[in-house]
Structure formats: C-alpha cells, structure tokens
Chains A and B, each alone.
Chain A
C-alpha cells in the first residue's frame, strides 16, 4: 500500500509543479508603469497585452478575432461592437461600455497620451448604445478594426487597470503576471519578467537555464542550449533607406542589397529585402520603375544610421564594400538615435536609414506616402495618390497594386533588410510564433502551455 501512496503523492506533486511552473522571461528595457493611456513602446505593449483586453484581437494568422467584443458588424463607415458581458477588471468591477468610451475619449483628449493610439483614434467618433459601442471614422472600417487590436481598454478613471488574462505585480526590476479568471482561460500560471538589458548577459541567462524564452544576439554559430529550441518567424520590421538625393542611390542600393550579404550573414535574424514594400504584409515584389540613371561612378553618398546597432552597422559596411566595386563611395555615418530622428524630420540628410516595424495591415505603408505621414521624411507626393488612397477599402483592393506602381515610379525610400524574429524557447513550452511576436496576438500567452 505504502509504495502506491508514495507514487500517488509524487504524481500529484509533479502535476502540481507542472501547473505552477513559471515562464521566465526578460525585458530589454524598463517599460515604465503600466498605463493604458500614456504607455508607449514594445515592452509596454507586452504588458498591456497581458494585463488588458482590446475590443478585438489579431490571431497568429493576422485575422481579426473577438476579444472584449464578442461580435461586431460594419455598416458603411460605422463599426458596431457588442461588449462581452461578465468581464471584470482587476479589482472585480464589471467592464462596462462606459469604460471603453472613457478610454477612447481620454486618449483623444490628452495631449500626453500615446502617440500611436492617438493616431489610431484620429477622427474617430464614438457612441454608446446599451451594450453596444459604435465607432465611425474617415478610415476604412477594415483598417480601423485591425488597428483597434492595439488599443486595450482600461477602467474609467484608472489608466493602470485592465481586464486582461493576467494580473501584474511589479517589484523593483521584476514583473510578475499571474493568470486570472478570463474567457481566454490562460493555461499558464505565472510569467515572470526580469530586466536584462545586456545582450551577453541575456545569452548567459539563456545558457544557464534561468530563462524560458529569450532573443539570442545576432552572432554566427550560436546554437540554443540542449533544452531549448530556436523559433524563427518573419516580422513586419524593415531597415529602410530614405533618399533626399533622388532615386539614383535607391536604384543602386536596390541592386547592391541583393549582392552584398553572403548567406547566413545575419545568422537568420535578417535577410536582404526584395520588394519595395513588406512582403509579410502581402505586397507583391516590385522593382523601381524610375528611368535608369547614368553610372553613379565616383559619387559620394553619406548614409546616416542609428549608432549602436551592430546588425545595421554590419549590413551598411557590407553595402559600402559592394558600392566600392561600382566606384561609389558610400559612407555609413553613425549618429545618436534622437539626433538621427531630428535630422529625418528636418530633412537634413542625403541618405538616412531607420528601422521601422510596420503595423500588421497594409495601410501601415501609407505612413511613407501620405502628406505629413510619420515616415514621409522626403516629402513624397503624387497627384494620383488621393484617388487611389480613397479606394483602399480592404487589404485585397486592386488599388494597392496601382498605388505601388506610382510609388515605384519615383520612390523616396527603399527597404534594405527584412528582419526575422529568432527566439529560443524552452522545449517543454508550447508557444505560437507570429509576425507580431509571441505576445501581441490573441490568444497569445493565454494559449501557451507546458508540455508534459
């Protein structure tokens, strides 16, 4: 009898350990306090995705799925959401349509609210009707719907209180997320984040088994430890070169980017871009259609880039060597990130590169084209733009192809690198990678579980 009891106890203990096992993770930088109104940045977005719920979510296949709203309908430019009933905030208060309205109005009202969220809600009009929330916008509803996935709701008057699948506690440089009762039914008990900013320290933490998930440095020959597996997933991030020197440098770079980087040059973290707009967003490959320029021999082009990014520096040095073979003196010049952005805004550059993460919908490329668009640093304009932009009512609209053609005729920017997310994950942990990363999808971490 005794051995049977012992076996039973051991089985119970191991099962309990399996359930209670914590996912150990790290933040590369301090995300600041959890704030659904003001909070900005990648780490903050992870916190908000864990502790908050947006009206809708995006799944790993980039499709809109229900979240706080269990159903919705589109009537012309109007989106009508039914708010899921029975949802509760961290303090137990029920989630009401008034909380959604307050979140949206607060972001629109406050000048210090997240710039990304203010951009999403620009021109949005809101009406609350019982358990329905109605939003109308000058944007196509399909675009607004996808953008709303990045706008979690907070309790009225409490910008730090969400209703997501995990509750958060912060102690110093550690953040603990604990599963709570939620319709997504998180299978994990706890996700624990530590602040590890140093790449080498992160690698040591991964190799010593102190982390369940981590992004290894971009070094050749690095292999995950035996108890981890490497996941690779193309992302919507690109290194883009902007040109104030006309399309000749972009045409040359278009040729060089395909020839400058040897195989496995970036250890799978990046590869040369092929088209003009991100392939991951579904855009077909297209080449620059501008008239061919005479050979750029004995030209000198200065290319600004953000100092301190090893991978970008490595790429630009490789491009410099390729340019030299064509007799061009391409001079990559490092500059501090904030100074670079200021020069981009003022247009004080010949060529400048910047890393951009596109939102997971095709409309995000309009940032390059729209007058006063956040990435239209070179003041690109075309008379035909407004006509095509009005027809972009869905990701499948044929107007996208026409728009890309007018961009290809006289582009002001060209992607050089497409980034891939390379993550090491504990072999026992089942996660679902996506172009948005591991956290920003629905169900995201709520769908993870420990394999027995």
Chain B
C-alpha cells in the first residue's frame, strides 16, 4: 500500500464532495456532460503538455527568471480573453473555439514553462561543466521525471480554470461543467470528476515509478 496516504486524501475529497452542504432553490436542469468539448480540450492539453516541457528543456533552470516569460505570465487569463475578444474584428463574426484555444495557450504556456523551469535542479557548476551536450541530456531526463508530477498537479487546475475563458468566448467546456455541478450540488457528477482526477494522479504515479 505504497499510495495509501494519497488515497486517504482522495477519500477525504470524496467525502467533502458527497457531504457538500447547501440546497438549491430553483433547481435548474443538469447539463449533459460536454462530450463535444472532449476532443478540443484534450488537443489543447496535449499541445500544452508537449510545448511546455519542450520549452522548459530548451530554456533550462534559467527559464524561471526569463523576463519575457515573467512578463507574459503576469496578466490573468481573463485579460488575454478580453483582449482577444475586443480586438476581434466585428466583421469576422463571433470568435469561437480557435480564439478560445489561442487565449488558453497564451495564458497557460508561460506559467507552465516557468513552473517546470523553477522545478529543475541548478546546472552550475555541473552538469554544465561537462559541456552543453551533457547538459541537454540532463535537462531531458529531468523534464521526463518532472512531467508526471507536473501533469498531476496542473492538469486538474487547467481543466477547471478554463472556466473563465469558456465564459468569455461562449465555449462549452470542462470548467463550466465542473462549476455548474458544484453550484447545482450535483454531488454524484462532481464525485465522478474527483474520481477522474484521482485516476489521473494514480496513472502519473505509475509513470513516475517507471
């Protein structure tokens, strides 16, 4: 039972969801799970999951103090969303999924690259002393080790935090679904979400061991 402590925490989370206090006055119909959003959201997460580690491997631990990344990370995602919506030409019609995806990546990438870079060990004096080729290999190994923990920690966050951009661009996604289930006290639906996050955590543990 190597992961007992982790499962105990997840059990507490389940108990919190099932016992969530509150009642809904004018109970609205529970929306169906947004299956149509599955492919676009997974695609975005795959792009993020590949681009962020690749950029982190390229920048190394110095990326954590990269001025441009810090500058891009500072504005909250609603600012990027609002900016994109405001600058979208009215003759093009309302922006849809593409604009949502672009705003999501602009908001998420700098933060994630810096998160990964900050978690990388220092390279001076070693392995940099052995040359850039060794340093590149070391970074690759480090990023591969960081990825499962990073995914387990950040994917649930991005899935739910996409809510703000979903609301701005009128896109149906997982953030909205999560929020709707909480506000409507759909305890079973929210517990299913929690189970999905717990399974993601478990899957990343297996990857980490390998």
Chain B associates with chain A: yes
Q: Are A30 and B90 in contact (CB under 8 A)?
A: no
CA distance A30 to B21 in the complex (A): 23
Q: Is A29 at the interface (CB under 8 A from chain B)? A: yes
CA distance A161 to B195 in the complex (A): 34
Which residue of A32, A204, A205 contacts B31 across the interface (Cβ within 8 Å)? A32
Which residue of B22, B36, B94, B167 contacts A198 across the interface (Cβ within 8 Å)? B167
Q: Is B27 at the interface (CB under 8 A from chain A)? A: yes
CA distance A116 to B167 in the complex (A): 28
Interface pick from A141-149, A177-185, A339-347, A388-396: A339-347
Q: Are B31 and A338 in contact (CB under 8 A)?
A: no
Please indicate the chain B residues that have their CB under 8 angstroms from the CB of A337 in the complex: 22, 24-25, 183
Q: From B169, which residue of chain A is reached at the shortest CB distance?
A: A201
Whether A339 contacts B22 in the complex (CB less than 8 A), given A39-B29, A40-B29, A210-B90, comes out as yes
Q: From B86, which residue of chain A is reached at the shortest CB distance?
A: A204
CB distance from A447 to the nearest CB of B (A): 27
Whether A208 contacts B183 in the complex (CB less than 8 A), given A41-B29, A173-B171, comes out as no
Contact with A along B163-189 (1 / 0, CB 8 A): 010111111100010001001010000
Q: Are A205 and B23 in contact (CB under 8 A)?
A: no
Q: Is B32 at the interface (CB under 8 A from chain A)? A: yes
Q: Are A338 and B29 in contact (CB under 8 A)?
A: no
Which residue of A40, A196, A342 contacts B27 across the interface (Cβ within 8 Å)? A40
Please indicate the chain B residues that have their CB under 8 angstroms from the CB of A35 in the complex: 29
Please indicate the chain A residues that have their CB under 8 angstroms from the CB of B50 in the complex: none
Q: Is A248 at the interface (CB under 8 A from chain B)? A: no
Q: Are A44 and B183 in contact (CB under 8 A)?
A: no
Contact with B along A26-38 (1 / 0, CB 8 A): 1001111101001
Please indicate the chain B residues that have their CB under 8 angstroms from the CB of A198 in the complex: 164, 167-168
Q: Is A229 at the interface (CB under 8 A from chain B)? A: no
Which residues in window 135-189 of B have CB below 8 A to A? 164, 166-172, 176, 180, 183, 185
CA distance A26 to B34 in the complex (A): 18
CA distance A341 to B24 in the complex (A): 6
Which residue of A29, A194, A197 contacts B94 across the interface (Cβ within 8 Å)? A194
Which residue of A41, A43, A201 contacts B168 across the interface (Cβ within 8 Å)? A201
Whether A29 contacts B28 in the complex (CB less than 8 A), given A205-B94, A338-B185, comes out as yes
CA distance A354 to B29 in the complex (A): 21
Please indicate the chain B residues that have their CB under 8 angstroms from the CB of A172 in the complex: 34, 36-37, 172
Q: Are B167 and A341 in contact (CB under 8 A)?
A: no
Q: Is B3 at the interface (CB under 8 A from chain A)? A: no
Q: Is B196 at the interface (CB under 8 A from chain A)? A: no
Please indicate the chain A residues that have their CB under 8 angstroms from the CB of B37 in the complex: 172
Q: Are B170 and A336 in contact (CB under 8 A)?
A: no
CA distance A209 to B94 in the complex (A): 9
Q: Is B30 at the interface (CB under 8 A from chain A)? A: yes
Contact with B along A169-213 (1 / 0, CB 8 A): 001110000000000000000000011111011001100111000
> Once A and B bind, how many residue pairs between them come within 8 Å at the CB atom?
99
Q: Are B28 and A341 in contact (CB under 8 A)?
A: no
Q: Are A30 and B172 in contact (CB under 8 A)?
A: yes
CB distance from B23 to the nearest CB of A (A): 5
Q: Is A268 at the interface (CB under 8 A from chain B)? A: no
Please indicate the chain B residues that have their CB under 8 angstroms from the CB of A126 in the complex: none
Please indicate the chain A residues that have their CB under 8 angstroms from the CB of B94 in the complex: 194, 205, 208, 210
Q: From A196, which residue of chain B is reached at the shortest CB distance?
A: B170
Please indicate the chain A residues that have their CB under 8 angstroms from the CB of B183 in the complex: 337-338
Q: From A24, which residue of chain B is reached at the shortest CB distance?
A: B94
Q: Are B22 and A30 in contact (CB under 8 A)?
A: no
Which residue of B22, B85, B169, B171 contacts A342 across the interface (Cβ within 8 Å)? B22
CB distance from A193 to the nearest CB of B (A): 10
CB distance from A73 to the nearest CB of B (A): 33
CB distance from A174 to the nearest CB of B (A): 9
Which residue of B21, B85, B167, B168 contacts A339 across the interface (Cβ within 8 Å)? B21
Q: Is B124 at the interface (CB under 8 A from chain A)? A: no
CB distance from B74 to the nearest CB of A (A): 20
Whether A341 contacts B29 in the complex (CB less than 8 A), given A172-B172, A196-B170, comes out as no
Q: From B177, which residue of chain A is reached at the shortest CB distance?
A: A30
Q: Which residue, of B26, B29, B31, has the highest number of chain A Cβ atoms within 10 A?
A: B29
CA distance A197 to B167 in the complex (A): 5
Q: Is B82 at the interface (CB under 8 A from chain A)? A: yes
Which residue of B25, B30, B32, B167 contacts A201 across the interface (Cβ within 8 Å)? B167
Q: A30-B180, A32-B28, A337-B25 are in contact. List 11 more A-B contacts (CB 8 A).
A: A29-B28, A30-B31, A32-B30, A35-B29, A194-B170, A196-B170, A198-B167, A200-B82, A337-B22, A338-B22, A339-B22
**What residues make up the interface of A, taking CB atoms closer than 8 Å to B?**
26, 29-33, 35, 38-44, 115-116, 171-173, 194-198, 200-201, 204-205, 208-210, 336-339, 341-342, 344-345, 354
Top 9 A-B pairs, shortest CB-CB distance = A338-B22, A32-B29, A41-B28, A173-B172, A208-B90, A198-B167, A197-B167, A30-B31, A172-B36
Please name 24 pairs of A and B residues whose Cβ atoms are closer than 8 Å in the assembled complex, sorted by A. Answer: A26-B170, A30-B172, A30-B180, A32-B32, A33-B29, A33-B31, A35-B29, A40-B29, A44-B29, A115-B27, A172-B37, A172-B172, A194-B94, A196-B167, A197-B167, A198-B168, A200-B168, A201-B82, A201-B168, A201-B170, A338-B185, A341-B22, A342-B23, A354-B25
